[in-house]
Structure 1
Amino acid sequence: MSLTASGIHAGYRGRRVLHDVSLTIERGETVGLRGPSGTGKSTLVRVLALLHPPDSGHVTLDEQRIRGHGHRVPASVRTRIGVLFQSPRAAADPRLSLSDLIAEPLRAVRHPREQITGRVTDLAERAGLTPDLLDRRPHAVSDGQLQRACLARALAHDPDYLLCDEATTMLDASTQAHVAAMITDQQQHTGMGVLVVSHDPALLTRWTDRIEDLNTETAR
Protein backbone atom coordinates (compact mmCIF):
# COMPACT_ATOMS: atom_id res chain seq x y z
CA MET A 1 0.00 0.00 0.00
CA SER A 2 1.31 3.43 -0.85
CA LEU A 3 0.64 7.09 -1.57
CA THR A 4 2.01 7.83 -5.01
CA ALA A 5 2.40 10.87 -7.24
CA SER A 6 2.87 9.83 -10.87
CA GLY A 7 4.12 12.11 -13.65
CA ILE A 8 3.02 15.27 -11.86
CA HIS A 9 3.05 18.56 -13.76
CA ALA A 10 1.79 21.39 -11.55
CA GLY A 11 2.02 25.12 -11.06
CA TYR A 12 0.17 28.30 -10.27
CA ARG A 13 -1.52 30.74 -12.67
CA GLY A 14 0.23 29.39 -15.71
CA ARG A 15 3.67 29.12 -14.09
CA ARG A 16 4.98 25.56 -14.13
CA VAL A 17 6.60 24.52 -10.84
CA LEU A 18 6.78 20.74 -11.16
CA HIS A 19 7.68 18.94 -14.37
CA ASP A 20 7.03 15.19 -14.60
CA VAL A 21 7.66 14.42 -10.91
CA SER A 22 6.94 11.01 -9.39
CA LEU A 23 7.25 9.97 -5.74
CA THR A 24 6.02 7.00 -3.71
CA ILE A 25 5.57 6.70 0.06
CA GLU A 26 4.96 3.16 1.28
CA ARG A 27 2.99 2.41 4.44
CA GLY A 28 5.33 2.16 7.42
CA GLU A 29 8.31 3.91 5.81
CA THR A 30 9.73 7.40 6.25
CA VAL A 31 10.82 9.12 3.04
CA GLY A 32 12.97 12.24 2.99
CA LEU A 33 12.58 14.86 0.26
CA ARG A 34 15.26 17.45 -0.31
CA GLY A 35 16.07 20.02 -2.94
CA PRO A 36 16.95 23.71 -3.41
CA SER A 37 14.39 26.39 -2.73
CA GLY A 38 12.02 26.93 -5.62
CA THR A 39 12.03 23.35 -6.89
CA GLY A 40 8.42 22.78 -5.87
CA LYS A 41 8.71 20.67 -2.73
CA SER A 42 5.78 22.41 -1.04
CA THR A 43 3.72 22.18 -4.23
CA LEU A 44 4.34 18.44 -4.38
CA VAL A 45 3.20 18.14 -0.76
CA ARG A 46 0.00 20.01 -1.56
CA VAL A 47 -0.65 17.79 -4.57
CA LEU A 48 -0.09 14.64 -2.50
CA ALA A 49 -2.37 16.04 0.21
CA LEU A 50 -5.10 16.53 -2.41
CA LEU A 51 -5.09 20.29 -1.75
CA HIS A 52 -3.77 21.38 -5.16
CA PRO A 53 -4.76 19.88 -8.52
CA PRO A 54 -1.96 18.85 -10.88
CA ASP A 55 -2.08 20.10 -14.45
CA SER A 56 -1.40 16.52 -15.50
CA GLY A 57 -0.36 13.30 -13.86
CA HIS A 58 -2.24 11.80 -10.93
CA VAL A 59 -2.16 10.75 -7.26
CA THR A 60 -2.86 7.16 -6.25
CA LEU A 61 -3.84 6.15 -2.73
CA ASP A 62 -3.41 2.42 -2.08
CA GLU A 63 -3.88 1.66 -5.80
CA GLN A 64 -6.97 3.89 -6.06
CA ARG A 65 -6.55 6.81 -8.45
CA ILE A 66 -7.82 10.01 -6.85
CA ARG A 67 -9.85 12.42 -8.94
CA GLY A 68 -10.47 15.99 -7.87
CA HIS A 69 -9.04 17.88 -4.91
CA GLY A 70 -10.14 19.53 -1.69
CA HIS A 71 -13.74 18.93 -0.70
CA ARG A 72 -14.45 17.31 -4.06
CA VAL A 73 -12.67 14.26 -2.62
CA PRO A 74 -14.76 12.20 -0.17
CA ALA A 75 -13.93 12.77 3.50
CA SER A 76 -13.22 9.05 3.87
CA VAL A 77 -10.31 9.55 1.46
CA ARG A 78 -9.14 13.04 2.53
CA THR A 79 -8.82 12.07 6.18
CA ARG A 80 -6.35 9.30 5.34
CA ILE A 81 -3.71 11.94 4.59
CA GLY A 82 -2.46 14.36 7.25
CA VAL A 83 -0.29 17.44 6.66
CA LEU A 84 2.02 19.38 8.95
CA PHE A 85 3.17 22.66 7.43
CA GLN A 86 6.28 24.73 8.12
CA SER A 87 4.58 27.73 9.69
CA PRO A 88 2.06 26.88 12.40
CA ARG A 89 0.85 30.49 12.52
CA ALA A 90 -0.05 30.43 8.84
CA ALA A 91 -1.76 27.04 9.27
CA ALA A 92 -3.81 27.88 12.37
CA ASP A 93 -6.99 29.96 12.58
CA PRO A 94 -6.09 32.73 15.07
CA ARG A 95 -9.68 32.78 16.36
CA LEU A 96 -9.57 29.20 17.64
CA SER A 97 -8.27 27.94 20.96
CA LEU A 98 -5.75 25.12 20.78
CA SER A 99 -8.51 22.74 21.86
CA ASP A 100 -10.75 23.85 19.01
CA LEU A 101 -7.82 23.73 16.61
CA ILE A 102 -7.19 20.06 17.41
CA ALA A 103 -10.92 19.28 17.25
CA GLU A 104 -11.42 21.04 13.89
CA PRO A 105 -10.99 17.98 11.60
CA LEU A 106 -13.15 15.83 13.88
CA ARG A 107 -15.99 18.34 13.86
CA ALA A 108 -15.71 18.63 10.09
CA VAL A 109 -16.89 15.04 9.73
CA ARG A 110 -19.43 15.40 12.56
CA HIS A 111 -18.04 13.08 15.20
CA PRO A 112 -20.14 12.93 18.41
CA ARG A 113 -19.19 15.59 20.94
CA GLU A 114 -18.16 13.07 23.60
CA GLN A 115 -15.80 11.32 21.19
CA ILE A 116 -14.27 14.63 20.14
CA THR A 117 -13.62 15.68 23.75
CA GLY A 118 -11.91 12.39 24.57
CA ARG A 119 -9.87 12.39 21.39
CA VAL A 120 -8.68 15.99 21.90
CA THR A 121 -7.62 15.18 25.47
CA ASP A 122 -5.63 12.16 24.31
CA LEU A 123 -3.93 13.99 21.45
CA ALA A 124 -3.08 16.99 23.62
CA GLU A 125 -1.47 14.77 26.24
CA ARG A 126 0.61 13.01 23.61
CA ALA A 127 1.66 16.39 22.21
CA GLY A 128 2.75 17.58 25.65
CA LEU A 129 0.10 20.31 25.83
CA THR A 130 -1.12 20.96 29.38
CA PRO A 131 -4.82 21.72 30.02
CA ASP A 132 -4.14 25.42 30.65
CA LEU A 133 -2.67 25.75 27.14
CA LEU A 134 -5.73 24.28 25.44
CA ASP A 135 -7.86 27.32 26.28
CA ARG A 136 -5.35 29.72 24.75
CA ARG A 137 -5.40 31.07 21.21
CA PRO A 138 -2.38 30.97 18.89
CA HIS A 139 -1.14 34.46 19.79
CA ALA A 140 -0.84 33.38 23.44
CA VAL A 141 1.41 30.35 22.89
CA SER A 142 4.89 29.78 21.49
CA ASP A 143 5.64 28.54 17.97
CA GLY A 144 6.62 25.18 19.41
CA GLN A 145 3.41 24.80 21.39
CA LEU A 146 1.35 25.81 18.38
CA GLN A 147 3.16 23.39 16.08
CA ARG A 148 2.52 20.56 18.54
CA ALA A 149 -1.17 21.46 18.45
CA CYS A 150 -1.04 21.43 14.64
CA LEU A 151 0.57 17.99 14.77
CA ALA A 152 -2.17 16.76 17.09
CA ARG A 153 -4.70 18.11 14.58
CA ALA A 154 -2.91 16.36 11.69
CA LEU A 155 -3.11 13.04 13.58
CA ALA A 156 -6.73 13.44 14.67
CA HIS A 157 -8.02 10.86 12.17
CA ASP A 158 -5.07 8.47 12.54
CA PRO A 159 -4.02 9.09 8.94
CA ASP A 160 -2.37 6.39 6.87
CA TYR A 161 0.10 8.97 5.55
CA LEU A 162 1.58 12.12 7.11
CA LEU A 163 3.28 14.80 5.01
CA CYS A 164 5.69 17.08 6.90
CA ASP A 165 6.68 20.18 4.93
CA GLU A 166 9.73 21.68 6.70
CA ALA A 167 7.69 21.09 9.85
CA THR A 168 10.59 21.37 12.31
CA THR A 169 12.46 24.27 10.70
CA MET A 170 11.10 26.99 13.01
CA LEU A 171 11.39 24.94 16.21
CA ASP A 172 14.06 24.69 18.90
CA ALA A 173 15.93 21.41 19.33
CA SER A 174 13.77 20.20 22.22
CA THR A 175 10.51 20.75 20.33
CA GLN A 176 11.97 19.21 17.17
CA ALA A 177 12.75 16.07 19.16
CA HIS A 178 9.25 15.99 20.68
CA VAL A 179 7.57 16.36 17.28
CA ALA A 180 9.76 13.67 15.72
CA ALA A 181 9.15 11.32 18.66
CA MET A 182 5.37 11.77 18.47
CA ILE A 183 5.37 11.07 14.74
CA THR A 184 7.60 8.02 15.16
CA ASP A 185 5.40 6.67 17.97
CA GLN A 186 2.30 7.11 15.80
CA GLN A 187 4.05 5.37 12.93
CA GLN A 188 5.06 2.41 15.07
CA HIS A 189 1.51 1.95 16.34
CA THR A 190 -0.38 2.43 13.08
CA GLY A 191 2.06 1.71 10.24
CA MET A 192 1.67 5.27 8.95
CA GLY A 193 3.81 6.31 5.98
CA VAL A 194 5.68 9.60 6.48
CA LEU A 195 7.16 12.15 4.08
CA VAL A 196 9.72 14.54 5.60
CA VAL A 197 10.64 17.60 3.54
CA SER A 198 13.73 19.29 4.90
CA HIS A 199 16.92 21.17 4.05
CA ASP A 200 18.63 19.59 7.07
CA PRO A 201 20.80 16.69 5.86
CA ALA A 202 21.48 15.46 9.41
CA LEU A 203 17.76 15.29 10.20
CA LEU A 204 17.00 13.43 6.97
CA THR A 205 19.82 10.95 7.52
CA ARG A 206 18.81 10.33 11.12
CA TRP A 207 15.04 10.14 10.61
CA THR A 208 14.30 8.70 7.17
CA ASP A 209 14.61 5.29 5.52
CA ARG A 210 15.50 6.77 2.15
CA ILE A 211 15.98 10.21 0.62
CA GLU A 212 14.66 11.48 -2.71
CA ASP A 213 15.96 14.57 -4.48
CA LEU A 214 13.84 17.23 -6.17
CA ASN A 215 16.13 19.36 -8.29
CA THR A 216 15.99 22.12 -10.87
CA GLU A 217 15.62 19.60 -13.68
CA THR A 218 12.16 18.70 -12.35
CA ALA A 219 11.09 22.31 -11.84
CA ARG A 220 10.71 24.71 -14.76
Structure 2
Amino acid sequence: MTRPGLAACQVSASYGTQRVLDAVDLHIAPGETVGLHGPSGSGKSTMARLLALLHRPDGGHVSIDGTPVTGIRHQVPVAVRTRVAILFQSPRAATDPRLTLADLIAEPMRAIGTPPEQVRARTAELADTVGLTADLLTRRPHAVSDGQLQRACLARSLVHRPGYLLCDEATAMLDASTQAHVAAVVGEFQRRHDAGVLVISHDAALLARWADRVVELP
Protein backbone atom coordinates (compact mmCIF):
# COMPACT_ATOMS: atom_id res chain seq x y z
CA MET A 1 0.00 0.00 0.00
CA THR A 2 1.36 3.44 -0.91
CA ARG A 3 1.63 5.93 1.91
CA PRO A 4 0.12 9.33 1.13
CA GLY A 5 2.34 12.27 1.78
CA LEU A 6 5.36 14.22 0.63
CA ALA A 7 8.53 12.36 1.54
CA ALA A 8 12.28 12.65 1.37
CA CYS A 9 13.57 9.11 1.29
CA GLN A 10 17.20 8.69 2.40
CA VAL A 11 18.15 11.92 0.64
CA SER A 12 21.69 13.24 0.57
CA ALA A 13 22.85 16.59 -0.76
CA SER A 14 26.17 18.39 -1.09
CA TYR A 15 27.51 21.75 -2.19
CA GLY A 16 30.91 21.08 -3.68
CA THR A 17 32.75 18.90 -1.20
CA GLN A 18 30.51 19.93 1.71
CA ARG A 19 27.90 17.28 2.59
CA VAL A 20 24.79 19.02 3.91
CA LEU A 21 22.31 16.14 4.20
CA ASP A 22 23.31 12.52 4.60
CA ALA A 23 20.65 9.83 4.07
CA VAL A 24 17.85 11.79 5.76
CA ASP A 25 14.18 10.75 5.85
CA LEU A 26 11.29 13.18 6.26
CA HIS A 27 7.56 12.60 5.76
CA ILE A 28 4.68 15.11 5.70
CA ALA A 29 1.21 13.59 5.69
CA PRO A 30 -1.86 15.31 4.21
CA GLY A 31 -3.31 17.69 6.78
CA GLU A 32 -0.21 17.50 8.99
CA THR A 33 2.05 20.37 10.03
CA VAL A 34 5.65 19.27 10.48
CA GLY A 35 8.28 21.58 11.96
CA LEU A 36 11.89 21.36 10.83
CA HIS A 37 14.41 22.73 13.31
CA GLY A 38 18.18 22.85 13.42
CA PRO A 39 21.18 25.16 13.53
CA SER A 40 22.38 27.23 10.59
CA GLY A 41 24.07 25.00 8.04
CA SER A 42 22.19 21.88 9.09
CA GLY A 43 20.45 21.59 5.72
CA LYS A 44 16.95 22.87 6.48
CA SER A 45 16.65 25.08 3.39
CA THR A 46 18.32 22.41 1.25
CA MET A 47 15.67 19.94 2.39
CA ALA A 48 12.96 22.43 1.40
CA ARG A 49 14.49 22.83 -2.07
CA LEU A 50 14.71 19.06 -2.50
CA LEU A 51 11.07 18.60 -1.51
CA ALA A 52 10.02 21.47 -3.79
CA LEU A 53 11.73 19.70 -6.72
CA LEU A 54 14.14 22.62 -7.17
CA HIS A 55 17.34 20.73 -6.35
CA ARG A 56 18.37 17.20 -7.29
CA PRO A 57 19.54 14.99 -4.41
CA ASP A 58 22.92 13.30 -4.62
CA GLY A 59 21.30 10.17 -3.27
CA GLY A 60 17.84 8.95 -2.34
CA HIS A 61 14.67 10.43 -3.82
CA VAL A 62 11.56 12.50 -3.19
CA SER A 63 8.14 10.90 -3.46
CA ILE A 64 4.67 12.39 -3.65
CA ASP A 65 1.86 10.21 -2.32
CA GLY A 66 3.99 7.12 -2.68
CA THR A 67 5.27 7.78 -6.20
CA PRO A 68 8.98 8.60 -6.62
CA VAL A 69 9.65 11.78 -8.59
CA THR A 70 12.36 11.78 -11.21
CA GLY A 71 13.75 15.08 -12.45
CA ILE A 72 13.48 18.60 -11.11
CA ARG A 73 11.79 21.84 -12.11
CA HIS A 74 10.32 21.71 -15.63
CA GLN A 75 11.52 18.14 -16.13
CA VAL A 76 8.60 17.20 -13.88
CA PRO A 77 5.05 17.18 -15.36
CA VAL A 78 2.91 20.19 -14.39
CA ALA A 79 0.36 18.05 -12.56
CA VAL A 80 3.13 16.69 -10.34
CA ARG A 81 5.28 19.76 -9.70
CA THR A 82 2.28 21.94 -8.81
CA ARG A 83 1.43 19.53 -5.97
CA VAL A 84 4.20 21.23 -3.99
CA ALA A 85 4.69 24.95 -3.37
CA ILE A 86 7.33 26.81 -1.40
CA LEU A 87 7.30 30.13 0.43
CA PHE A 88 10.81 31.52 0.96
CA GLN A 89 12.20 33.68 3.78
CA SER A 90 13.07 36.75 1.69
CA PRO A 91 10.26 37.94 -0.56
CA ARG A 92 12.57 40.40 -2.32
CA ALA A 93 15.00 37.65 -3.30
CA ALA A 94 12.10 35.50 -4.52
CA THR A 95 10.41 38.04 -6.81
CA ASP A 96 11.07 39.85 -10.06
CA PRO A 97 11.27 43.58 -9.21
CA ARG A 98 9.85 44.49 -12.63
CA LEU A 99 6.48 42.84 -11.98
CA THR A 100 3.49 44.30 -10.17
CA LEU A 101 2.09 42.32 -7.23
CA ALA A 102 -0.80 41.22 -9.44
CA ASP A 103 1.64 39.89 -12.01
CA LEU A 104 3.66 38.13 -9.32
CA ILE A 105 0.58 36.27 -8.15
CA ALA A 106 -0.49 35.47 -11.71
CA GLU A 107 2.95 34.32 -12.86
CA PRO A 108 2.52 30.57 -12.11
CA MET A 109 -0.84 30.50 -13.89
CA ARG A 110 0.46 32.23 -17.00
CA ALA A 111 3.44 29.86 -17.06
CA ILE A 112 1.13 26.90 -17.69
CA GLY A 113 -1.22 28.68 -20.09
CA THR A 114 -4.19 29.38 -17.82
CA PRO A 115 -6.85 31.43 -19.72
CA PRO A 116 -6.63 35.18 -18.93
CA GLU A 117 -10.11 35.41 -17.43
CA GLN A 118 -9.29 32.62 -14.98
CA VAL A 119 -5.99 34.29 -14.14
CA ARG A 120 -7.74 37.56 -13.30
CA ALA A 121 -10.40 35.88 -11.17
CA ARG A 122 -7.95 33.71 -9.23
CA THR A 123 -5.56 36.62 -8.68
CA ALA A 124 -8.36 38.75 -7.23
CA GLU A 125 -9.55 35.85 -5.06
CA LEU A 126 -6.11 35.21 -3.60
CA ALA A 127 -5.34 38.90 -3.10
CA ASP A 128 -8.46 39.11 -0.96
CA THR A 129 -7.47 35.95 0.92
CA VAL A 130 -4.07 37.34 1.93
CA GLY A 131 -5.32 40.88 2.59
CA LEU A 132 -3.95 42.82 -0.39
CA THR A 133 -6.07 45.75 -1.55
CA ALA A 134 -6.58 46.60 -5.22
CA ASP A 135 -4.25 49.60 -5.07
CA LEU A 136 -1.39 47.42 -3.77
CA LEU A 137 -1.78 45.00 -6.68
CA THR A 138 -0.71 47.70 -9.15
CA ARG A 139 2.54 48.42 -7.29
CA ARG A 140 5.95 46.87 -7.83
CA PRO A 141 8.04 45.36 -5.01
CA HIS A 142 10.04 48.54 -4.31
CA ALA A 143 6.79 50.37 -3.53
CA VAL A 144 5.47 47.97 -0.86
CA SER A 145 6.66 46.73 2.53
CA ASP A 146 8.28 43.36 3.15
CA GLY A 147 5.07 42.19 4.79
CA GLN A 148 2.92 43.21 1.83
CA LEU A 149 5.33 41.56 -0.59
CA GLN A 150 5.38 38.35 1.44
CA ARG A 151 1.58 38.31 1.34
CA ALA A 152 1.81 38.42 -2.47
CA CYS A 153 4.33 35.58 -2.39
CA LEU A 154 1.98 33.59 -0.17
CA ALA A 155 -0.86 34.18 -2.63
CA ARG A 156 1.41 33.04 -5.46
CA SER A 157 2.29 29.85 -3.59
CA LEU A 158 -1.40 28.99 -3.20
CA VAL A 159 -2.34 29.58 -6.85
CA HIS A 160 -2.49 25.91 -7.83
CA ARG A 161 -4.00 24.75 -4.51
CA PRO A 162 -0.95 22.63 -3.69
CA GLY A 163 -1.25 19.47 -1.66
CA TYR A 164 1.92 20.41 0.22
CA LEU A 165 3.20 23.84 1.25
CA LEU A 166 6.77 24.39 2.42
CA CYS A 167 7.40 27.50 4.53
CA ASP A 168 11.16 28.15 4.70
CA GLU A 169 11.63 30.69 7.50
CA ALA A 170 8.69 32.42 5.82
CA THR A 171 7.78 34.63 8.78
CA ALA A 172 11.30 35.41 10.03
CA MET A 173 11.49 38.87 8.41
CA LEU A 174 7.96 39.96 9.30
CA ASP A 175 6.47 41.92 12.18
CA ALA A 176 4.31 40.09 14.72
CA SER A 177 0.95 41.02 13.20
CA THR A 178 1.99 39.97 9.69
CA GLN A 179 3.45 36.73 11.06
CA ALA A 180 0.12 35.96 12.67
CA HIS A 181 -1.76 36.77 9.48
CA VAL A 182 0.45 34.55 7.32
CA ALA A 183 0.08 31.69 9.80
CA ALA A 184 -3.70 32.15 9.84
CA VAL A 185 -3.96 32.10 6.03
CA VAL A 186 -1.79 28.99 5.82
CA GLY A 187 -3.84 27.32 8.55
CA GLU A 188 -7.15 28.08 6.85
CA PHE A 189 -5.82 26.82 3.50
CA GLN A 190 -4.62 23.66 5.21
CA ARG A 191 -7.99 23.01 6.82
CA ARG A 192 -9.93 23.59 3.60
CA HIS A 193 -7.69 21.47 1.38
CA ASP A 194 -6.20 18.94 3.81
CA ALA A 195 -2.75 20.15 2.79
CA GLY A 196 0.46 19.02 4.40
CA VAL A 197 2.64 21.88 5.66
CA LEU A 198 6.35 21.98 6.48
CA VAL A 199 7.41 24.90 8.69
CA ILE A 200 11.15 25.54 8.81
CA SER A 201 12.35 27.82 11.58
CA HIS A 202 15.16 28.54 14.04
CA ASP A 203 12.42 29.50 16.50
CA ALA A 204 11.65 26.45 18.64
CA ALA A 205 8.80 28.28 20.41
CA LEU A 206 7.13 29.10 17.07
CA LEU A 207 7.37 25.47 15.97
CA ALA A 208 5.97 24.26 19.29
CA ARG A 209 2.89 26.43 18.73
CA TRP A 210 2.44 25.75 15.02
CA ALA A 211 3.58 22.18 14.29
CA ASP A 212 2.01 18.84 15.13
CA ARG A 213 5.52 17.42 15.53
CA VAL A 214 9.06 18.72 15.10
CA VAL A 215 11.95 17.04 13.30
CA GLU A 216 15.46 18.01 14.40
CA LEU A 217 18.37 18.22 11.99
CA PRO A 218 21.76 17.98 13.72
User: Fold match, TM over 0.5?
Assistant: yes
Q: Which residue of 2 aligns with 1:183?
A: 186
- Partner of 1:94, secondary structure, is coil
1:154 lines up with 2:160 in the alignment: no
Partner secondary structure for residue 22 of structure 1: strand
Provide, for residues 121-173 of structure 1, a one-character-per-residue CA deviation record: whole Å limited to 9, x for no partner: 00000110000000000010000000000000000000000000000000000
Separation in 2 of the partners of 1:47 and 1:15?
Answer: 16
Deviation by residue 1:30-64 (Cα, 9 ceiling, x = unmatched): 00000000001000000000000000100010011
Q: How far apart, in 2, do the equivalents of 1:183 and 1:84 lie?
A: 11
Segments of 5+ residues of structure 2 without an aligned counterpart are none
The structure 2 residue matched to 1:211, chosen from 201, 211, 214, is 214
Take 1:11 and 1:131, find their aligned partners in 2: how far apart are those partners?
43
- Tell me, in whole angstroms, the C-alpha distance in 2 between the residues paired with 1:116 and 1:197: 30
Summarize the alignment of residues 186-197 of structure 1 with structure 2, pairs less than 5 Å apart: 186-197=189-200
Q: CA deviation at 1:203?
A: 1.0
Matched with 1:141 is: 144
Q: Secondary structure at the match of 1:162?
A: strand
TM-score, scaled to structure 1: 0.97
* 1:9-88 mapped onto 2 (5 Å cutoff): 9-88=12-91
1:71-150 alignment runs, 5 A limit: 71-150=74-153
SS in 2 for 1:157: coil
Structure 1 residues 55-106: Cα deviation after superposition (integer angstroms, max 9, x where no partner):
0100010011000111101111111101000000000110100000000001
CA-based RMSD of the aligned residues comes to 0.6
> SS at 1:91's partner residue?
coil
Structure-2 separation of matches of 1:140 and 1:20: 44
Paired-residue identity, %: 62
Query: Helix, strand or coil: the match of 1:58?
Result: strand
Q: Match for 2:141: what amino acid?
A: P
Q: Secondary structure at the match of 1:21?
A: strand
Distance 1:146 1:116 in 2: 19
- Give 1:15 shift: 2.5
Runs of 4+ in 1 over 3 A off after TM superposition: none
> Which AA in structure 1 matches 2:187?
T
Cα distance in 2 between the residues matched to 1:173 and 1:70:
33
**How far apart, in 1, do the equivalents of 2:19 and 2:55 lie?**
13
Within 1, Cα distance between the matches of 2:123 and 2:73? Answer: 24
Unaligned runs of 5+ in 1: 216-220
Q: Structure 1 CA distance, aligned partners of 2:100 and 2:155?
A: 13
The total of aligned residue pairs comes to 215
| TM-score (norm: length of structure 2) | 0.97
- Structure 2: how far apart are the matches of 1:199 and 1:13? 25
